[in-house]
Structure 1
Amino acid sequence: YAVIIMYVISCVGLTVSDQETITAKSGQNVTLTCRAPNNNIGVIEWSRADLKEDEYVLLYRDGHLDQDHQHPSFKNRSDLDSSMTGGDASVNMKNVSVSDMGIYKCEITTSKMSSGKKVLNEFNLTVTDTGGFVKVEDSALTAQLFIRPRFTPQRYNVGLSLR
Structure 2
Amino acid sequence: MRESRRIFLVCLLTFWGKCSASEDHQQITVKTGDDITLQCWGPSRGVIELLEWNKPDLKSQDYVYYYRDERLYENYQHPSFHGRAELRDPQMKDGDVSVILRNSSINDTGKYECYVGYGGRSELITTITLKVIDSGGEAGNTKNGGDKDGHVGLIPGLSVAGLLVVIAVAVVLVIFRKHSSIFQSPAEL
Short-chain TM bin: 0.5 to 0.7
Quick check: 1:107 aligned with 2:115?
A: yes
CA separation in 2, counterparts of 1:45 and 1:35? 12
Q: In structure 1, which of residues 85, 88, 92 is the aligned counterpart of residue 93 of structure 2?
A: 85
Task: Determine the structure 2 residue equivalent to 1:68.
Answer: 75
- Structure 1 SS opposite 2:49: strand
List per-residue Cα deviations over 1:23-63 (Å, max 9, x = no partner): 11110100011111224201000000112463100000010
List per-residue Cα deviations over 1:106-160 (Å, max 9, x = no partner): 00011xx24x1524210000011123xxxxxxxxxxxxxx7xxxxxxxxxxxxxx
- Which runs of structure 2 are paired with 1:134-145 in the superposition (5 Å)? none
Task: Determine the structure 1 residue equivalent to 2:7.
Answer: none
CA separation in 2, counterparts of 1:123 and 1:109? 18
CA separation in 2, counterparts of 1:60 and 1:74? 14
CA separation in 1, counterparts of 2:69 and 2:60? 19
C-alpha contact 1:16 1:121 (8 A) present in aligned 2? no
CA separation in 1, counterparts of 2:67 and 2:91? 13
C-alpha contact 1:29 1:96 (8 A) present in aligned 2? yes
Q: For structure 2, which runs of at least 5 residues remain unmatched after alignment?
A: 1-17, 138-189
Q: Flag the structure with higher helix content.
A: 2
Paired-residue identity, %: 38
Q: Flag the structure with higher strand content.
A: 1
C-alpha contact 1:57 1:70 (8 A) present in aligned 2? yes
TM-score normalised by L of structure 1:
0.66
Q: Structure 1: which 4+ aligned runs deviate by more than 4 Å?
A: none
Cα RMSD after superposing both structures? 2.1
* Letter aligned with residue 25 of structure 1: K
**Alignment CA distance shift 1:78-1:117 (3 Å):** closer
- Structure 2 SS opposite 1:73: helix
**Alignment CA distance shift 1:87-1:103 (3 Å):** same
TM-score normalised by L of structure 2:
0.57
Quick check: 1:36 aligned with 2:42?
A: yes
- Which runs of structure 2 are paired with 1:38-57 in the superposition (5 Å)? 38-39=44-45, 40-52=47-59, 54-57=61-64
Aligned-pair distance for 1:74? 0.2
- Structure 2 SS opposite 1:95: coil
Aligned-pair distance for 1:83? 2.4
CA separation in 1, counterparts of 2:35 and 2:135? 15
Give the count of matched residue pairs: 117
C-alpha contact 1:47 1:106 (8 A) present in aligned 2? yes
* Letter aligned with residue 63 of structure 1: E
* Letter aligned with residue 22 of structure 2: V
